Chain A
Amino acid sequence: DIQMTQSPSSLSASVGDRVTITCQASQDISEYLNWYQQKPGKAPKLLIYDASNLESGVTSRFSGGGSGTDFTFTITSLQAEDIATYYCQQYDHIPPTFGGGTKVEIK
C-alpha cells in the first residue's frame, strides 16, 4: 500500500495567518490526491480533489497543489471555523490510503 506522510502532525497559528500542510506519498501518485477537513465528532468533508481542484461550495481560502510525491494544502487566512484536523488521501493505487492528519489550532 502507498504510505502517506503528513507534516506537521499539529500546528498552532493566529487568526489571519497563512497555514501550509504538506503531504508526501511513498511513490508517484501523479495528481490523484484529495484533502479533507474533519471537525471533532463529525465526518470528514471533501475540500480539494485531484490535488488542486476546489470542491463545490468550499471557501476559496483553501487551496492545494503539487504532483508526483509532494503536495501542499494552504489556508490563506486562518479563521476560527477552520479549527479541525486535515487529511490527505491518495487514490492512484488501490486501496486508497490516508495521511495521519494535521490538527490545526488557534494560537
Chain B
Amino acid sequence: QVQLVQSGAEVKKPGASVKVSCKASGYSFTSHYLHWVRQAPGQRLEWMGIINPSGGSTSYAEKFQGRVTLTRATSTSTVYMELSSLTSEDTAVYYCARAQAPYNWNYQFDYWGQGTLVTVSS
C-alpha cells in the first residue's frame, strides 16, 4: 500500500534551518509528483511547493521563494524539504502529500505523510 513516512519532530532556534524527509513506498516513486503543505496552529493548510521526483524540477509558492528547497534521492525514494531563516511563525506541522494523477503537475493530494511538527523557539 502507498505510504509516505516522514522524519520526526524538530525544535529549532530562530534563524536556523530545518530539513524534513518523506520516504515513499508502495508505488513507483518517480510516477507521482510530491507536494509539501504546512499547518500552523489554528491556521488553515498552506501549500509550499512541489517536486517532480523523476527529474527533480520544482515549483515553490511565492511566499516561500528563497527560503524553501525541495530535493529528492531516487535511490531511497525520499524527498526532502529544507526551510531556512526560521522564525516563530514557521512553527507548524509539515506534511508531504502525493499528487493524485501520475506524470503531471497535479494539485489533488491523495496520500499524505503523518506530519512533522517543527517548533521554532528561542
Contacts and interface: CB of A to CB of B under 8 A. Distances in A.
Interface residues of B, number: 19
A70 interface: no
Contact of B113 (A34, A43, A50, A89): A43
B114 A95 contact: no
A96 B61 CA distance: 9
A101 B42 CA distance: 10
Contacts of A100: 44
Contacts of A55: 110
Interface size for chain A: under 10, 10 to 19, 20 to 34, or 35 or more residues?
Answer: 20 to 34
A62 interface: no
A49 B112 CA distance: 15
A98 B97 CA distance: 14
B108 A91 contact: yes
B44 A99 contact: yes
A95 B62 contact: yes
A45 interface: yes
A34 B108 contact: yes
The dominant DSSP class at the A interface is loop
A43 B112 contact: yes
Contacts of A45: 112
A95 B105 CA distance: 12
Given A49-B100, A98-B44, A91 B107 contact: yes
B108 A49 contact: yes
A95 B45 CA distance: 12
A95 B61 contact: yes
Given A89-B45, A98-B46, A44 B112 contact: yes
B44 A43 contact: no
A73 interface: no
Contacts of B110: 46, 55
A3 B95 CA distance: 21
Nearest to A43: B112
Interface of A: 34, 36, 43-46, 49-50, 55, 87, 89, 91, 94-101
